[in-house]
Amino acid sequence: MNAVSPKAVEPSAAESDHALVTQWLDRFENALQTSATAMLASMFAPESHWRDLLAFTWSITPCAGPNTIAELIVAKQADTQARGFVIAEDRTPPRHIKRTGIDVVEGIFQFETALGRGFGVVRLLAENPSQAFQLMTNLHELKGYEEKIGKRRPTGEAYSRNFGGTNWKDQRTASQAYTDREPTVLVVGGGQAGISVAATLGHLGIDTLVIDKQPRAGDCWRSRYHSLALHNPTEFNHLPYMPFPPNWPVYLPKDMVADWFEAYTWAMELNFWAGTELVSGAYDERAGRWNAVVRNTSNGTERTVHPKHLIFANGLVGSPYIPELPGLKDFKGDVMHTSAFTNGANWRGKKALVLGTGTSGHDVAQDLHANGADTTIIQRGSTMVLSINPSAKITYGVFEGVPLEDGDLFVLTNTLPVAKRNFQMMTARMTELDKKTTEGLIARGFKWNDGDDHMGHNMLIRTRYGGYYLDGGCSELIIKGEIGLMQYDDIERFAEGGARLKDGSIKPADLIVLATGFVNQQEVVAKLLGETTANKVGPVWGIGPDGEMNNMWKRTPQEGLWFVGGSFTNCRIYSRVVALQIKAMEEGLLN
């Protein structure tokens, strides 16, 4: 009797994807170890992109094209000594997925360098998995200087029964006072950016002081207008180390955020001086430190501190921008900027004009309307409008079905050329979903756009940090005529009783709210650190020549000066990038 051959077992799709990524990583490491530039170049597609965050370049570095990528990697490898490239354990496994309209095999990997350990993402072309479309390498920790969390959590007298000595509370009080030392890092601003980077620095053992001019931690949100809530879902807004409770609502009210910030500063043991503002600062080149003058806002006392690093985490913009508007000084009613607006309760039965159609302008107009004010919004320029749900949620599609920490790695992967195409695709989908609302607005005379080069609000955030509205319901009120709409071009000037139109009529008002934005961060730097330093640093935020954000989350032309900011997601992800650079510098690993 003839023997029956066993039936061949086909590998599953998951096994096949795992094998493809493993094979690519093995070849990649072999090319690295042998400095085989040509071989390395052959592993990248004709259109390919690499983004490195500290692992090879000690900066945030984008690179494009197989030859350019290969040459830079090989040039950096002698110092980096990257090795051990394997699929990351306990992370989202390799899988087929579509990214920016391209079918890829996406895998998360881990590796180590001479100084640290990292994670990365590779996206292989599904039709030719021997070549990568995208590669991202991200330094996660420094060897010997890992975060003091989990099994490395701190021990010592402050956390034990220290009979006859100081306890934890005593030591926290002493630490906050800085009577016997200088902070290594001074963080200006106690919002999500400031407390995220301070917490990460603290877990790396860097002595950090946060100052905020508001009386309490969290007041940066607590003091804002009454109806404010976050416009993006809670599940993507967690701060480092301490996620929001799982029962909290999808969109957090501003007072929940504020109280959480206050709890976070306590739980993360942050040294936090509320009611304290930066008055001025000058860098001492010889001493390698700042002379930073800070002032207590309640009693006016000043103190000079001498940090090695100064981090601006005071938002991406400065003080309110109040434009010179013809005739506004003649107006006899009340004028305020949106930053001073709390709620519309005091304006019931009165007439209000809101100048500006960004998110704050719409929200203020809606709040005034809800409180019984006769409200008209004045549009100065074409505005991108999109729904909070479903359209804005599309932005977070990269997190769908994966743990937050894996989604964070995917967020880090795109360089500007890929991000632009991705934004265009998302915006096209958003436009289709919001078509009814958009048509209704245009019919009412609203000037609508879909962003620069059809890239929507995501690119407007990166270039202007404005020019869009995440619709919380005001659009429907405008469409129905419950909130009036005017174009600024129809106004000749403001007058004693309101706005004088070009046809000679008066649009009466008791209140004018200016939703006119804020001055840019460079002006804040000039005011606090001087024009010379501001000119040396240049623009803050906005897209730089390399396609990355200007002077954000990396070393700037001014030694010891850093900028952090952006969304909660930005702050969570990039706080580690900043903290690792500062830690490496303080330990002598990075010049």
Provide the pairing of β-strand 289-296 with 302-305.
Answer: antiparallel
Strand segments, DSSP code E, in 1-94 are 44-53, 60-64, 83-87
Q: For position 211, what pLDDT does the model report? A: 98
Q: For position 158, what pLDDT does the model report? A: 60
Candidates 396, 376, 408; CA nearest to 251 is 396
Q: Which portions of the chain are predicted below pLDDT 70?
A: 1-11, 156-160
The full set of domains in the chain, from first to last, is 13-142 (3.10.450.50), 180-318+521-586 (3.50.50.60), 325-516 (3.50.50.60)
Candidates 122, 94, 99; CA nearest to 14 is 94
Predicted TM-score of the model (pTM) = 0.95
Helix, strand, coil percentages in the chain from 3-state DSSP, rounded to 5 = 35, 25, 35
Which two three-digit tokens encode residue 215? 């009386």
Q: For position 11, what pLDDT does the model report? A: 66
Task: Report how far apart, in Å, the C-alpha atoms of 179 and of each of 119, 173, 304, 305, 333 are.
Answer: 40, 11, 12, 11, 49
Q: For position 68, what pLDDT does the model report? A: 98
Contact between 248 and 234 (Cβ < 8 Å): yes
Q: For position 7, what pLDDT does the model report? A: 45
pLDDT digits (tens, 9 = 90+) for 424-439: 999 999 999 999 999 9
pLDDT digits (tens, 9 = 90+) for 529-584: 999 999 999 999 999 999 999 999 999 999 999 999 999 999 999 999 999 999 99
Q: For position 2, what pLDDT does the model report? A: 40
pLDDT digits (tens, 9 = 90+) for 165-186: 888 999 999 999 999 999 999 9
Residues 6 or more apart whose CB falls under 8 angstroms from that of 116 comprise 55, 139, 140, 141, 142, 143, 580
Cα dihedral sign for 459, 460, 465, 471?
negative
Q: For position 164, what pLDDT does the model report? A: 81
Q: Which residue has the tokens 């029964």?
A: 161
